[in-house]
Structure 1
Amino acid sequence: MTTIGQLGIKRIYVVYTLVTIVLLCLLSLLGMFDRLDLFFLDRAFNLRGPQEPNSAVAVVAISQEDFERGAPRWPWPRSVMARLIDQLAEERPAVIAIDIQYGRKTSTETLLTRENFDEIRPYVYQALAGVKLEIQSPDGLRVIGPGNDAFDKIVLGSASAEAQDQELADAVGRAVDMGVPVILSAQTVSGMGVRGLSQPYDALLESAGGSIGLVGVRTDDDGVLRRYIPYGLDADGNLVYGLAIEAVARYLDATLPSTILPGGDVPIGSDTVIAINDGSFQVNFPGPPGTHLTVNAGDLLDGRIGNSETLTGKIVFVGVSDPSAEDLVATPFSGSERMAGVEFHASAASTILNDAQISTTPRYQVLFIIFVMVLVAVVLGRFMRPAIGILGAVVAAAGLLVVWSVSFSLWDYALPVAGPLVALVIGYSIAIADRVRIEQLNILQARSMLSRYLPNGVVKELLNDPVAAQLGAKRAEVTILFADIRGFTAISEKLEPEVVVGMLNEYLTVMTEIIFKHEGTIDKFEGDAILAFFGAPQAHDDDPERAVRTALEMRSQLDGLQDRWQELTKTSLKIGIGINCGAVMVGNIGSERRMDYTVIGDAVNLAARLQELTKEHDAPILISGEVASRLNGAASTRFIGKTEIRGRENAVDLYEVSELEMVTLTASELVSDL
C-alpha cells in the first residue's frame, strides 16, 4: 500500500527521536531518575542477599536486652561506661571506636536520679556528714533540689560529676596505655555563619590522644542512609575523618593525609583508596542489622562473652542499638527493622577493608546508554512487527536488568537502570504512537484511493486484513462481467480527444456506481471496456443474479446517456455484456510496489469471449449455461444454442437475458448523485 509523504514523515520522526533523546538526557542531568535508581539499588542489595562481613570488624551494642536485664536506662553513667571500656580493653581489640558523643561534662541533673544514686552514694554521704544532715534513702534527696544552697553544698561540693568524667577519661587512658587506640566521636556543627566541631570534653579528648572521628550522617531524599561522609573540617580548617575511616587507618597502621582537594579521594596507606563521589562514598552493606559480630554491652560487663565472640585484634565499634537512643537508621537492607548507627559505621569499615566499594557509572556514560536505548526502542517500535517489537522491548528491558543484577552481585557495580528503562519505555511508546499515526494517515489515504475503484466492502476488507493487502491470490467462486461499447473506437476517432475523455469519464462513472450498487468489484478499465466480478472479496449466494441485474441496469443507463451524446456521436451506441461464473484465482497480483486486485482464470476468458459473441448474436447480454442455472428463474432468458469456444473442448451453452424485475435510476440521477 502506498504511503503518504514518506520523506516528510521520516523527517518528523527523526525530530521526535532527537527531541526525546535530548529531553531524557536533560532529565537525567537534573537528577530526575536518581530516586528511582536508589530504589533499584535497594533491590540489588536484597537480590544479592547478605554476605560475610569483614571478620576484623565487630560491634559492642548497648541494647534493649541490656535494659531488660536491669541495666541503667540510657544514658548510662560515665562510670559505667568507664567499666565497659576497661572490660573491652581487656579483650585486646585492635581499635576501639566509640559512636557515643561526650561533648560536655556530666551535669548534676543527670547525676541526681534514682538509677545513679548508687554511683554517687559515697559522695553524698561525705557531703551530708560535713553539714551534719541525715538521709535515710534516695528519696531523701527530694529535700535537696537543684538550684538551692543545700544542693550546691552537697552535690557540687562533692565533685561527683567531675569524678565520673574523670573515671571515663582514665578508662580511655588505660586502654591507650595498653596499646589499644580509642577513637572518640565528633560532629561538625554550623549555624549563624559559624562552622565548628562538637568534640569530647577536654579530659576525655586528652586521654584519647586527640583521636576523634566524625559520626555525622546524610540520608538520601527517600530517608534511607546509604552513603558515608568521609571527612569534614573543624573550626580551624583542619581535616577530620569519619569514624570508620579513622578506625581502619589505625587498624592498618596507616597515616591519613592532612590535606585533600575538595571532593578528592582518600588514600589509606599505599594500598587502599576510598573513591569519593559527590562528597561521600556508597556503603556496601554486607547485610541487614545484626550481620556483624555483635556483643551486648551487658554481657561484656558481666564477662558473659564466649570464645566464638572474641574481640581480640578487631576494630570494635561501641554504640547504642536501643530505640530510646534515637540512633536507628533505615538502610537498603533494613526494611521494617532499622539499623543502629553504630553498625552503619561498622558496615562502612567492612566496605573499606573488603575493598568492596560500589562503583557507579559516570554521568556521560548514562547519557550514552539512554541514547542507545532510545535508538533500540525506535527500531523495535517503528520498524518491527508489533509482536516482534513488544518481544524485543521486553527482551531489551530484561537484558538490561540482568546486566544490572549480575554486575552488582559479582562486581559491586551499580548500573543506573532507571534512566535507560524510562528511555526504552518512552522511546517505544513514542515509536508506537507515531506508527499508529502514520498507519491512520495511510488508511485514510488508502480508503480515499481504493474507494474510487472498489466498493466499500472490498475497501473495508483490505484495510482491516493486512494479509489481504499483501501479494498473493486464493481460489474463489465468482461471477465475471465483461462489458464493452460496440464501435466506440471508430466513433472516438472522429471526435476530439477531450470530447472522448469526457464521454468515457461520464460513462465509466455511471457504470461504476451501478457495479458498486450491487456490491461488485471493478477489476479494470480498458478504454470503454469494463471487467468486474461478484463474489470476492465478499461472497453472496445470489452473485450470479447480482451480475445479471448489473448488466441490465448498465444497458438501461447507456440508453439514457445516448440521448445526451446523440449530437456528438450522430449514431446509436450499443453495449455488449458477457457473464460467466466459475473458479478463479483472486487477489493482489503484481509487485510490492505495484499490484492490482484482480481475477485470473479460464472463467474470465470465457466471459470475455461471451462479450465478443454479443455482436454476432445481436444480443446485448449473453450468459453461460452455468450462470443461467443459478438464476433460479429470477430472469427471463432465451437459450440461443451451443457454441464452440476456441481453446475449450466442450461447447458452451449460450443464453440471452432479456428481462429482470428491478428498480433503476436514470443516468442523469446517477450523475447528479456523484
Structure 2
Amino acid sequence: MLKNIRKQVPWIIGLVVTVLVALQANAIFPVRLVNLIDFFAYDVRMRLEVPQLNKDIIIVNIDEKSLTEVGQWPWKRSVVADLIKRLTDDYHVRAVGVDVVFPEPDGSSGFQILEGLAKKELKDDKGFAEQVANLKHQLDFDDRLTKAFESRPVVLGYFFSDDKKAVSKGALPKPALLQAELGGRDVESAEYFSFIANMQQLQDAAIAGGFLTPTPDSDGVIRSIPLLAKYKSNYYEALSLATARVALNATRLKPKFSKDAESLQADASKDDEIEAIVLNSSPRKTIPLEPLLRSLIQYKGKGGPDGGRFTYISATDVLKKQLPEAVLADKIILIGTTAVGLKDLRTAPVGIDYPGVEMHANVIASILDNDFKVRPSDSRSIELIQVILLGIVLTFALIRLKPVSAILFTLSCLLAAIGFNYWMYQSFDKVLPLATPLLLIFLLFLFVFGWNYVVESRRLRGVVRRFGEYVAPELVAVMADEPDSYTMEGESRELTVMFSDVRGFTSISETLSAVDLREYINIYLTAMSEEIRGNRGTLDKYIGDAVMAFWGAPVRLTDHARRSVESALKMQVTARRLSEEFVQRGWPALKIGIGLNTGEVRVGDMGSKIRLAYTVMGDAVNLSSRLEGVTKLYGVGIIVGEATKNAAPEFAYRELDRVRVKGKTQPISIFEPVVELVNLDAGMAAILDLWHRALNSFRTQQWHEAEVLFKDYLQTHAADVAAQVFLERIAYYRDNPPPADWDGVATFASKFSE
C-alpha cells in the first residue's frame, strides 16, 4: 500500500503545481515575479527586432549642435515660429508633432513690459502706445508663434497628471471622443485629473493637440502608451495618434467596441472595452487597442540618431534651410530633443536612454504601416491550455523517463514553449504570456524530478545496500533503473550455480604462515570474484577457501549458463597465472576445481532473524556442490551438469561419465567444457572424437577396444586422470564382469569417492 501511495506522489505534485500555475495564469493568484519574467521576455523580443529605416517620419532634433548655434533652451518663440514656417512653407511637410509644451508666455523680448507701460504708467502717451503697437509683430513672440500655427498642420503636445490636488495650467484641445459616444458603456481607461498644457491662443491656433504623458510599467520601463485617456468624462488623444490622424487627413475617430448593443443591454454592469479605433481617413485605418486603451510600442532599433529606424535632422539645419526640399517634403515631422540636459530620455525595452520623441514616432509608424503587436483577448485561454498540456505531458515524462532523458525532454519543452511564443509573435503579431509556461516547466522539473531523484536515490541506496555485496556495479546500475523490480523476497527461478574450491588447501594452510596464508587466500578470492562479477555473476558467499556464485538473479539473464561456463574457463586461466606468481614467491601452487549446474532453485533473502543472506537453495544447488567435489576424482578443473551443457551449446565439451552422486538415485551425465566452439581447431576436435569413441566402447563393454583407445588418448594427454580411471575400471571389469543390467553408471558413496 505504501508503495502504491509513493507512486502516486509525483502525480499529485504535478497536479498541484499545474493547478497553482493555472490559477496564476487567470490572475486569481498573481505573482510579481511572473510579471517581471514576462517583461524580460517582451524586452528580449524587442531587442531581436531588426531596425528598418522609416522614410515617412523625420525627427527634427533640438540637439547639442542646435543649442550651440541657436542658444540655450527654451528658445524664443520667434525661433520656434521660424522653425514651423520653414517646415510647412518651405519644405511642405505633411504634419508636425511638437514634443514641447508652451504653458507660459514668452517674456524674453520684453514686449510684455512695454505693453504694460502703455496700458498703465504711459497710457496717456499716445506716441508710446503707437510705437508699442508697431513693435507687436516684431516683439510679441507668442503672437508670432500663434500665427505660425494658424492654418498649418501642427499638433501640440501637453501633459496629463493623476494628481487630484494639482492646479491645471493652459488649455486642452477638443476631446477626441465624447462620453456620449460610448453609448452608455463603462470603458476602463487611464484617467487623469489635471494637466499642464499650452497657452490658450497657441492651442486654439494649432490644428490638434495630443498628450505626452509617459506610462511606464511597474519596473519603470515604457512598453506601451495610452492612445486615449479620460479627463472629466471625455477622452483625449495622444500626440502620436493626433499626429498620425492629421497626417492621414482624418477628421475624427470612431471607437469599435467588443460588445454590440444587444449584448450590452443584457449586461447589467455595462462593462465593455474599446478594442480598436477607426480613423475616417482614406483608406480607413483601424488601430487595435490593449486594455486601458493602450497600444504596445513597436521598438525597432536602439533609438537616437544612430538607432537605425528614423532619420534625425538637426533643427538648426532646418532653420538655416541647409537641406534639399526633397529630404522633408511630404514627411511627418516630430520636433523633439536628444540633448541630455533637456531630460527627454526614457527607459525602454531596448535601452535606458531612449529618446521620448522616438516613442511617439514608433507609434505613428505602426499606425501608418498597420504594424501592431497585440495581446489577443483570448490570451488567457491560450495560456491556460498551454499550462494544462505542459502539466500533463511533462509530469508524465518526468515520472517515466530516466534522469538524462527527463532533463533533455524538459529542455525540449522549454524550447518548444519559447519557440511557440516567438512564432506567434513574429508570424501573427500576437504577444502571449511566456513566464507562466516557463514557470510551470521549472516548478514541475524542480518538484517532480526532485521528488523522483530523492526517492530513486533512496531506492538506489537500498539496491546497493541489498545487492552491492553480491553483484557487479554495472548490475547494480541496471537494477537501479527499476528498483521496485528487485527485492530479496524468495522466488523460484532457473539459475546456474557454481561452486569453486582450492585443491589441497589443508596442506597449503599448513605450509604457509598465518600472514602469508591470509594474503594467499585474499589474492585468490579477489581474482575469482572479479571474474565472476565481471561476467554478471552474483557472488553468494565464501566458504573457507570455497566460492559460491550463481547467474540469473537478481537480474534476469537469458544466457546465464553460457556466462557461467565462460567465467569458469576464465577462472581456470586466472588460477594458472596466480599459481605461477605464487610459486615464484615460494608459495604452494594453486589448483582449483569448479562445479556448475543449471536448474530450478529458490532464490532470495534467507536465514534467521539474527542474520539474513541473499542466496539460493534447492536440488540444483546441491548437485553443483557435488560436481565440484567430483572434479578431484577425474582430475579436471571444471565439471558441468547435462542441463548446463545443453543450455550453453556455444562450447565444446568432453563427456566424462554418467554418475550417481550421493543423495541422488537418477544418474546424470557430467561434462568438462574444453573451449569455445569458435576456437575449436581440427586437432582438438580429433582428440575429443577419440575420447568419445573410447567412452562408447567402454559402455558397450568392448574392453579391449576401449583400452586401446584410452591408451591412444594418453599418448597426447599423458597426465589425464580420467583416462587412467577408465583403464582401472576396465581391468576391474575383466576380472569382475558387470551384471547383465549394468548401465555403465558410476555410483559415488560420498561426496568425493566411489
Inter-CA distance 418–308: structure 2 relative to 1 (3 Å threshold):
farther
Q: Is the 8 A contact 2:46 2:349 kept in 1?
A: yes
Q: Is the 8 A contact 1:479 1:535 kept in 2?
A: no
Which residue number corresponds to residue 292 of structure 1? 310
Q: How much has 1:466 moved relative to structure 2?
A: 3.5
Q: How does 1:159-238 map to 2 (within 5 A)?
A: 163-173=140-150, 176=151, 180-192=152-164, 195-209=193-207, 211-234=208-231, 236-238=232-234
CA displacement, residues 20-71 of structure 1 (integer Å, 9 cap, x when unaligned): 0122233442153122122122221222321343x33222111122124x22
Greater RCO (Cα-Cα under 8 Å, separation 6 or more): 1
CA displacement, residues 507-542 of structure 1 (integer Å, 9 cap, x when unaligned): xxxxx99869977457899xxxxxxx99999x9999
User: Quick one: distance in 1 between partners of 2:294 and 2:543?
Assistant: 81
Q: What code does the residue aligned with 1:85 have?
A: I
User: Quick one: distance in 2 between partners of 1:38 and 1:281?
Assistant: 15
Which of 256, 272, 275 is equivalent to 2:289?
Answer: 275
Which of 462, 466, 479 is equivalent to 1:466?
Answer: 479
Inter-CA distance 480–411: structure 2 relative to 1 (3 Å threshold):
same
Q: What code does the residue aligned with 1:479 have?
A: F
User: Quick one: distance in 2 between partners of 1:303 and 1:272?
Assistant: 37
- Is 1:9 paired with 2:6? yes
Q: How does 1:359-370 map to 2 (within 5 A)?
A: 359-361=374-376, 362-370=379-387
Which residue number corresponds to residue 669 of structure 2? 647
Q: Is the 8 A contact 1:56 1:314 kept in 2?
A: yes
Q: How does 1:244-255 map to 2 (within 5 A)?
A: 244-255=240-251
Q: Is the 8 A contact 1:126 1:158 kept in 2?
A: no
Q: How does 1:342-381 map to 2 (within 5 A)?
A: 342-361=357-376, 362-381=379-398
Q: Is the 8 A contact 1:393 1:424 kept in 2?
A: yes
Inter-CA distance 161–419: structure 2 relative to 1 (3 Å threshold):
farther
- Is 1:26 paired with 2:23? yes
Which residue number corresponds to residue 488 of structure 1? none
Inter-CA distance 220–524: structure 2 relative to 1 (3 Å threshold):
closer
Question: Which secondary structure does the structure 1 equivalent of 2:449 belong to?
Answer: helix
Which residue number corresponds to residue 323 of structure 1? 340
User: Quick one: distance in 1 between partners of 2:462 and 2:243?
Assistant: 76
Inter-CA distance 188–469: structure 2 relative to 1 (3 Å threshold):
closer
Which of 313, 323, 334 is equivalent to 1:305?
Answer: 323
Q: How does 1:112-191 map to 2 (within 5 A)?
A: 163-173=140-150, 176=151, 180-191=152-163
> Paired residues, what number?
508
User: Quick one: distance in 1 between partners of 2:396 and 2:285?
Assistant: 47
- Structure 1: gaps (5+ residues): 112-118, 133-153, 482-511, 526-532, 545-578, 591-596, 613-620, 632-641, 659-674
Q: How much has 1:341 moved relative to structure 2?
A: 1.3
Q: How much has 1:125 moved relative to structure 2?
A: 14
Which residue number corresponds to residue 71 of structure 1? 70
- Is 1:239 paired with 2:250? no
Q: How much has 1:300 moved relative to structure 2?
A: 0.3
Question: Which secondary structure does the structure 1 equivalent of 2:162 belong to?
Answer: strand
Q: How much has 1:203 moved relative to structure 2?
A: 1.2
Q: Is the 8 A contact 2:18 2:388 kept in 1?
A: yes
CA displacement, residues 334-368 of structure 1 (integer Å, 9 cap, x when unaligned): x36x2221111111111121111112251232122
Q: Is the 8 A contact 1:478 1:584 kept in 2?
A: yes
- Structure 2: gaps (5+ residues): 123-130, 167-192, 258-271, 487-492, 502-539, 554-563, 576-591, 604-613, 639-655, 660-667, 671-691, 696-721, 726-747
Using structure 1 for the length normalisation, give the TM-score: 0.63
Q: What code does the residue aligned with 2:40 have?
A: F
Q: Is the 8 A contact 1:231 1:241 kept in 2?
A: yes
Q: How does 1:350-429 map to 2 (within 5 A)?
A: 350-361=365-376, 362-429=379-446
Using structure 2 for the length normalisation, give the TM-score: 0.57
Q: Is the 8 A contact 1:21 1:370 kept in 2?
A: yes
Q: Is the 8 A contact 1:478 1:581 kept in 2?
A: yes
Question: Which secondary structure does the structure 1 equivalent of 2:366 belong to?
Answer: helix
Q: How much has 1:158 moved relative to structure 2?
A: 8.9
Which residue number corresponds to residue 42 of structure 1? 43
Question: Which secondary structure does the structure 1 equivalent of 2:336 belong to?
Answer: strand
Q: What code does the residue aligned with 2:220 have?
A: G
Q: How much has 1:287 moved relative to structure 2?
A: 2.4
Inter-CA distance 342–474: structure 2 relative to 1 (3 Å threshold):
farther
Q: How does 1:430-441 map to 2 (within 5 A)?
A: 430-441=447-458
CA displacement, residues 347-406 of structure 1 (integer Å, 9 cap, x when unaligned): 111112111111225123212212222333213321112222222222222233333334
CA displacement, residues 237-263 of structure 1 (integer Å, 9 cap, x when unaligned): 322101111112222222434778775
User: Quick one: distance in 1 between partners of 2:139 and 2:602?
Assistant: 105
Inter-CA distance 83–609: structure 2 relative to 1 (3 Å threshold):
closer
CA RMSD of aligned residues (A): 5.0
Q: Is the 8 A contact 2:593 2:636 kept in 1?
A: no
User: Quick one: distance in 2 between partners of 1:224 and 1:97?
Assistant: 23
Q: How does 1:261-660 map to 2 (within 5 A)?
A: 263-265=273-275, 266-269=277-280, 270-289=284-303, 290=305, 291-307=309-325, 309-310=327-328, 312-333=329-350, 335=351, 338-361=353-376, 362-443=379-460, 451=466, 456-458=469-471, 462-466=475-479, 478-479=498-499, 520-521=548-549, 581=594, 608=623, 611=626, 622-625=629-632, 644-645=658-659, 646-648=668-670
Q: What code does the residue aligned with 2:279 have?
A: I
Between 317-326 and 383-392, the greater mean CA deviation after superposition: 383-392
Q: What code does the residue aligned with 1:342 have?
A: V
Q: Is the 8 A contact 2:60 2:334 kept in 1?
A: yes
User: Quick one: distance in 2 between partners of 1:516 and 1:25?
Assistant: 65
Question: Which secondary structure does the structure 1 equivalent of 2:140 belong to?
Answer: helix
Which residue number corresponds to residue 503 of structure 1? none
User: Quick one: distance in 1 between partners of 2:634 and 2:403?
Assistant: 45
CA displacement, residues 572-627 of structure 1 (integer Å, 9 cap, x when unaligned): xxxxxxx962578899999xxxxxx9999xxx979617749xxxxxxxx9442399
Q: How much has 1:468 moved relative to structure 2?
A: 9.8
Identity %: 17
CA displacement, residues 269-300 of structure 1 (integer Å, 9 cap, x when unaligned): 34413222344110112323232122211100
User: Quick one: distance in 1 between partners of 2:600 and 2:395?
Assistant: 33
Q: Is the 8 A contact 1:51 1:286 kept in 2?
A: yes
Q: Is the 8 A contact 1:17 1:427 kept in 2?
A: yes
Inter-CA distance 461–292: structure 2 relative to 1 (3 Å threshold):
closer
Which residue number corresponds to residue 668 of structure 1? none
User: Quick one: distance in 2 between partners of 1:18 and 1:442?
Assistant: 24
Inter-CA distance 606–433: structure 2 relative to 1 (3 Å threshold):
closer
Inter-CA distance 273–455: structure 2 relative to 1 (3 Å threshold):
closer
User: Quick one: distance in 1 between partners of 2:337 and 2:65?
Assistant: 11
